[in-house]
A = this chain, B = another copy of it.
Amino acid sequence: MNYPNGRKNGTQKLRSQNKAETTFSNRGMTLEEDIELSNDYYRNANIAIVHKKPTPVQIVNVDYPKRSAAVIKEAYFKQASTTDFNGVYRGRYIDFEAKETKNKTSFPLSNIHQHQIDHMYACQQHGGICFIIVKFAVFDEVYLLPASKLFLFWNDQFKGGRKSIPYDYMKAEAELLPFHYQARIDYATALDKLYF
C-alpha cells in the first residue's frame, strides 16, 4: 500500500514545482494509483482509514523451497465479490469502486457488475456511504457519484433505459474532484459536502 519513497514521490515533487496546488490536469498516474496515494495521505494525516482490497486470487499450487519464501506457482484471478475500496471516515463506513473510461460522452454501465451494485446497496441499507469514482480520461476529470444515483441508471437499463450515464449528467449531478498535491483524488472533501 505504501509506495516506496523513490519514483512516485519524486514525480510528485517535480510536479509541485511547476503547478499550483490545485489543478484539474496532468494527473499522469492511473486512477487507482492516485486513489491509493490519497488513501496514504488520509491515513498519515489521520483524516480517514481507507484501504484498497487485495486482488482476489485462487491459489492452486504453492512451492515451499527450503530456506526461502513460498512461491505461488499456479493461481488464477477471481472475480471480486465486493468493491475495491472500503474503510471508515468520520465515524461512517465508506465503500466505493473506481473506474476509468476513455468514452467522451458517457460512462458505460458495463464497467460495473451486478454483485457490486448488490454489495453497495446492502452496505447503504446498513448505514454505509457508497459511491463510485469515475475518471473521464480524455478530459482528465474525476467525479464522485453517490451510489443512490448510480442505482437509478442501473435499474433503468433493465426497463429499456440507456446502458450508460451521460457525461452531461455527471457534470451536473456528480461531484467533480479537483486534483490536490496531497489528496490527489480528494473524495473526503466531497463526502463532507454530500453526507455530513
Give the interface of A toward B (CB within 8 A).
1-2, 43, 46, 48-49, 51, 53-57, 59, 69-78, 80-82, 86-93, 95, 119, 122-123, 125-128
Contact = CB atoms under 8 A, between A and B. Distances in A.
A192 to B, nearest CB: 14
A48 B123 CA distance: 8
Nearest to A120: B49
Given A57-B54, A93-B92, A70 B74 contact: no
A89 B48 CA distance: 18
A72 to B, nearest CB: 4
A interface: dominant SS: mixed
A54 B55 CA distance: 7
B49 A88 contact: no
A126 B93 contact: no
Could you say how many copies of this chain the assembly holds?
A: 2
Contacts of A128: 49, 88, 91
Given A43-B122, A127-B92, A72 B76 contact: yes
A71 B48 CA distance: 36
B122 A49 contact: yes
A53 B55 contact: no
A57 B77 contact: no
A88 B81 contact: no
A119 B86 CA distance: 13
A122 to B, nearest CB: 5
A88 B126 contact: yes
Contacts of A54: 53-57, 78, 80
18 contacts: A49-B119, A49-B123, A51-B82, A54-B55, A54-B80, A57-B59, A57-B72, A57-B75, A69-B76, A71-B74, A71-B75, A72-B75, A73-B73, A87-B123, A88-B128, A91-B92, A91-B126, A91-B127
